Chains A and B, each alone.
Chain A
Amino acid sequence: MRRRAILGYGAAGVGAVALMLFVGWWQVDGPGGPEPVGQRPVALTEMDFRLTDHEGNAVGPETLIGRPTMAFFGFTYCPDVCPTTLSDISGWLDDLGDEADEMNVVFITVDPERDTVETMAEYVGYFHPGIRGWTGPEEQIARVADGFRATYERVPTESGDYTMNHTASVFLFAASGRFVTMIDYHEPREFAVPKIRRALAEEMEGAT
């Protein structure tokens, strides 16, 4: 009898610990916790940031609303992923033809220390003319990245310089500002154009 009671208490104890662990998980990592990085971007209409485009114009989320948007984070000192993505985007825009003219395409730097307005202007000049370069003060870059749920991090290199780790996905938003989908770097790049077309078409349906 006694042994059974002890076992019962023991089971209750284990249950209580399990419950505590569950509550802990719920609050920290689970649905009750803060949104982890890597979640869906918020709508452009919910973002709040002030940046400068490569021609010196003041821009913000409202600049993008009214037309579908393709956006990408990077930095001009990136030797690999950024020029590759900007060339990919240029190719997609060529394939889209006239439809590309209906889109906003922005390259937002995560390295404002080196990527001044002039630097951005020179850099985007090497790619499709539809691509705009955006930069701004450090804290505004942090705000735009937060809205997109994009991450970036400055990493020192052996050569005494630094490089930037950053979200390499291309974000697609509808003209309404609603987030539609993204194209990840490891996705087969040839699927991008149909995906962009689908995002554009989805918006047309949404509008009617």
Chain B
Amino acid sequence: MKKYILTSTLAALLTLGGFSAPALAGLEYVVVENAWSRASIGMNRPGAAYMTIRNTGDEPVTLIGLTTPLAMMPEIHETKTNAEGVSSMSPAGEIAIAPGESVALEPGGLHAMLMRLQEPMTEGDTFPLTLLFDDGGEVTVEVPILGIAARGPED
């Protein structure tokens, strides 16, 4: 635990110092890359956020949940498209990431589903999203909000 707090503090200091490193926070062996989300129309619709979560450590990690001040009910969901081309979406449960592996949250697959928005998601803004792991560790990333028609982190 001490290690997490230390890295969090370090990350906070770096952020304060104007060094915005979205991949640096909390659990030092969990690296989050290419986080992005789309602007919302108002607050009634759920939002979605995407990213790559990389376990650079020697032990497996399990993502068990999310928190963010932006949404009352953030959850990891998975969209699946079956052989008939029908897509459906449901909570994905816990996500284990083996050492050296990464998990992609991307359109049409796993995503951070942001239900009960507390404010509209506005293009150009960012919001903090905290990933919770089974060992008590946390990683917080600043997720940029792109346009509604964005297709990826580079848009």
- Give the B-binding residues of A (Cβ under 8 A): 37-38, 76-77, 79-81, 83-84, 86-88, 90-91, 122-123, 126-127, 151, 155, 157-159, 161, 163, 165-169, 182, 184-186
Contact = CB atoms under 8 A, between A and B. Distances in A.
Interface string B90-102: 0100000000000
Nearest to A74: B87
A185 B46 contact: no
A142 B28 CA distance: 52
B86 to A, nearest CB: 5
Contact of A185 (B73, B89, B108, B150): B108
Given A77-B46, A79-B113, A123-B41, A87 B87 contact: no
A81 B73 contact: no
A159 B88 CA distance: 16
Contacts of A158: 73, 91
B148 interface: yes
11 contacts: A80-B111, A81-B87, A83-B38, A83-B149, A87-B151, A123-B41, A126-B148, A151-B84, A155-B88, A167-B87, A168-B87
A88 B151 contact: yes
Contacts of B148: 83, 126-127
Contacts of B38: 83
Contacts of A184: 81, 85
B120 interface: no
B9 to A, nearest CB: 34
B128 interface: no
A19 to B, nearest CB: 30
Contacts of B113: 79-80
B149 A127 contact: yes
B45 interface: yes
A166 B86 CA distance: 5
Given A126-B149, A157-B115, A168-B81, 20 more contacts: A37-B84, A77-B44, A77-B46, A79-B46, A80-B108, A80-B113, A81-B79, A81-B89, A81-B107, A81-B108, A83-B38, A83-B149, A84-B151, A87-B149, A87-B150, A87-B151, A161-B115, A166-B87, A167-B84, A184-B85
A32 to B, nearest CB: 21
Contacts of B86: 151, 165-168
A80 B151 contact: no
A202 B15 CA distance: 56
Nearest to A77: B45
Contacts of A79: 45-48, 111, 113-114
A79 B73 CA distance: 14
A80 B84 contact: no
A183 B91 CA distance: 26
A190 to B, nearest CB: 12
Contacts of A76: 41, 45
B45 A182 contact: no
B107 A84 contact: yes
Interface in B61-105: 73, 77, 79, 81, 83-89, 91
